[in-house]
Chains A and B, each alone.
Chain A
Amino acid sequence: ETGVTQSPTHLIKTRGQQVTLRCSSQSGHNTVSWYQQALGQGPQFIFQYYREEENGRGNFPPRFSGLQFPNYSSELNVNALELDDSALYLCASSSGPTHQPQHFGDGTRLSIL
């Protein structure tokens, strides 16, 4: 059984650029949740995708957007990057949108210069 994988591992961008992060969910999982973890803080919920639709969103601006594909893998897109977007981005997959255990990937470290 393949776990949750995220790519790339590390990424460096400059202010104003756009970035796409990818997450492959665990086999049998149809739900992906994305979290942002700033240095020294706990992860914060960005949004969740269930069966290719956004299914709940945290307190993040619209320049954070996502997609989920028919194979349930997911992308997180961030436009107009700001310095405060520097963080570890974690995705978690689960077998349903609520109450199911979430399995986390190792994250993508995004640095904004």
Chain B
Amino acid sequence: EVQLVESGGGLVHPGGSLRISCAASGFSFRNYRMHWVRQAPGKGLVWVSRINRDGSTTDYADSVKGRFSISRDNARNTLYLQMNSLRAEDTAVYYCATAISIFGSGSMDVWGQGTTVSVSS
């Protein structure tokens, strides 16, 4: 079964750091671009970051550029998001997602259940 499982969320103070993870299983993780998408409480979906198959190319939303860093370990089938200088507005559920059966079609057909990050003093 194709699966993405996020972990590592929690409560952090403003200015603090947190690393969240996404464990992939059931597919050849190293062959697919991966994304992070977040959703603030009661709000819509916002794309955060993406990484190509071998980790050599990364992209970020302007709101997180310079503070967040996406990476992957293809040997461990795991995606990461290192979040530094966290702000209250980073409070959200963070989803990892990818496109497997619709590869190249400009969307995401596999989503994790999400991990919650809360930034508060």
Chains A and B belong together in one complex: no
